[in-house]
Amino acid sequence: MEKNPLRLYASPIKFGTDGWRGVLGVDITLERLLIVAAAAARELAFRAPLGLKSRVIVIGYDHRFLASEFAEAIASAVRGCDLDPLLTTTPVPTPSCSWAVVKYQALGALVITASHNPPEWLGLKIKGPLGGSVEGDFTEAVEKRLSVGGITTPIEGKTQRFDGRKEHLDGLRKKADISSLTRGLKAMGLKVIVDPMHGSAAGCIAELLEADRNQLVSEIRGERDPLFGGNPPEPLAPYLKKLIERVKASALKGQSALGVVFDGDGDRIAAIDEKGRFCSTQLLIPLLIDHLARVRQLPGCVIKTVSGSDLMRLVAEDLGREVLELPVGFKYIASEMLIKDVLIGGEESGGIGFGSHLPERDALFACLLLLEALTESRQTLAERLDELQGRFGASHYERIDLRLKNLDIRKRLEAFLQATPPSNVLGQQVKDVIRIDGVKLRLDVMHWVMFRFSGTEPLLRIYCEAPTKEKVDQALHWAKQLAENA
């Protein structure tokens, strides 16, 4: 009887909302990665759209420890599936691989990255033939292939390479008026300070805006550091102290600055306004909706995840746009982008996609559109956001992650919230209970609390939006106590 090498490990391979990730050397080993890459490549070939004759699988990697070596290794696994690996010459943002899939009409892409996870993690993202993340039924099929075993023998050989980073940037230049952006930034006296968090988006915005020539862009933490300075490369305020300090220091010198931050593999974005305030996609997406629908007058609906701010909905509906609300995970947004006209789709964790671009997140393109929105209006980010919140109401938002003792506690708490959700929060009546993904308790417009569990870990994510920061803090404290005492 043929042995399945994956059964030698205690923990089974499970795909999350965007790929397979885990601790390098524990969950992610070269032996396991070769087997998973082969299963993913075979599934991409099996599901190839009718008429697509390609045998190409794009392979990319980020700045993580051993990412380039593992990318080269899985090229041999792809060859072992009688397919043709096409490997990037340098580390690239994950959206560069999505761009390459479309350009070369490939079967899909395999990207060695752990995105925004801690430094000791690594993983694999799978992109389909249209450049977007594969859906849940695809990864379930990959897991099934793994469970039944089978052997794919890697085949050594010379791997064809391409400059995925350059090709992606060349494509973005055709989608944005770079000359207009640079003129606008100069006219506003606005400097852009980029923080790629030591990730693979380093140098991209400076190159796009020709920073060497016009001195509009500076960059911090652009050098490769597989330890990412000791923090996860996730665009959250606690990890951005250096960027916030730089933006404030620029203001003290009399020059307004916009801080832009990308996560470890360049598919998530956040910003720091000229006052030094952290601006997540909860604020950036409403601004981009306003710009794309009102100024550019592009067609399409707006898609948000259930954990996204109500400000997105209010701005979109004010402009006559349909709004769809989906579970957390960009793959759900991407699937809708393939079947309908979408203006913009976004999630609270930093991912934004555009119907005029790719059915996938692309933080570099989002950055160019953000700069376009500011230079078109000749307003800074703080001015634009203050104007929007003045029209639609203040929005304060925060998420906390609560690690539970074990999975049994998680299951018990989840069952409790589903069966008997609270009818009031701190004395305020719950108007609606939304179960799209977890349990969301709506108290009013831009006022809600949401509980959402990890599918594979004893982890509870608690989200809250409210009109004031004080109400956010109070609600999160209440929700944390509820979870700990249930």
Residue 263: Cβ-neighbour burial (10 angstroms; 0-12, 13-18, 19+)? buried
> Which H or E element spans position 77?
helix 67-80
466 inside domain: yes
Q: What is the distance between the alpha carbons of residues 90 and 63, in angstroms, rounded to a whole number?
A: 9
Residue with tokens 């990207």: 111
Q: What is the distance between the alpha carbons of residues 214 and 222, in angstroms, rounded to a whole number?
A: 19
Residues 6+ apart with CB under 8 A from 176: 208, 365, 368, 369, 372
Q: What is the distance between the alpha carbons of residues 79 and 27, in angstroms, rounded to a whole number?
A: 24
22 inside domain: yes
The number of residues making up the chain comes to: 486
Q: At residue 317, what are phi and psi to the nearest 5 degrees?
A: -70, -30
346 and 385 share one domain: yes
380 and 416 share one domain: no
Question: Among the three residues 355, 377, 392, which one is the final residue of a domain in this structure?
Answer: 392
The pLDDT, as a whole number, for residue 6 is: 47
Q: Are 379 and 394 in contact (CB under 8 A)?
A: no
Question: Among the three residues 361, 392, 423, which one is the final residue of a domain in this structure?
Answer: 392
DSSP 331-349: HHHHHHHTTS-EEEEE-TT
Q: How many CA atoms lie within 13 A of 397 on its CB side?
A: 23
173 inside domain: no
Tokens for 301, please give them: 């609906």
Which domain CATH number covers 477? 3.30.310.50
243 and 328 share one domain: yes
Q: At residue 379, what are phi and psi to the nearest 5 degrees?
A: -125, 145
Q: Are 269 and 199 in contact (CB under 8 A)?
A: no
234 and 357 share one domain: yes
The pLDDT, as a whole number, for residue 151 is: 75
Question: Among the three residues 166, 201, 232, which one is the final residue of a domain in this structure?
Answer: 166
The pLDDT, as a whole number, for residue 456 is: 59
β-bridge partners, 84? 56
177 inside domain: no
333 inside domain: yes
The pLDDT, as a whole number, for residue 486 is: 74
- C-alpha closest to that of 269 among 369, 398, 372: 369
CA torsion 436-439-441-447 (nearest 10°) is -70
Which domain CATH number covers 131? 3.40.120.10
Q: Are 466 and 446 in contact (CB under 8 A)?
A: yes
Q: Which domain holds residue 364?
A: 182-392
Query: In a 3-state reduction of DSSP, which class is residue 240?
Result: coil
176 inside domain: no
pLDDT tens, residue order, the chain (486 aa): 344 444 444 467 989 878 999 999 999 999 999 999 999 999 999 999 999 999 999 999 999 999 999 999 999 999 999 999 999 999 999 999 999 999 999 999 999 999 999 999 999 999 999 999 998 899 999 999 999 887 788 999 999 999 999 999 999 999 999 999 999 999 999 999 999 999 999 999 999 998 766 689 999 999 999 999 999 999 999 999 999 999 999 999 999 999 999 999 999 999 999 999 999 999 999 999 999 999 999 999 999 999 999 999 999 999 999 999 999 988 899 999 999 999 999 988 889 999 999 999 999 999 999 999 999 999 999 999 999 999 999 999 999 999 888 878 888 888 999 999 999 999 999 999 999 999 999 999 999 999 998 765 678 999 999 999 999 999 999 999 999 887
Interstrand relation of 84-88 and 56-61 (parallel, antiparallel or unpaired): parallel
CA torsion 164-185-262-288 (nearest 10°) is -100
Residues 6+ apart with CB under 8 A from 85: 56, 57, 59, 74, 75, 78, 79, 159, 160
Residue 318: Cβ-neighbour burial (10 angstroms; 0-12, 13-18, 19+)? middle
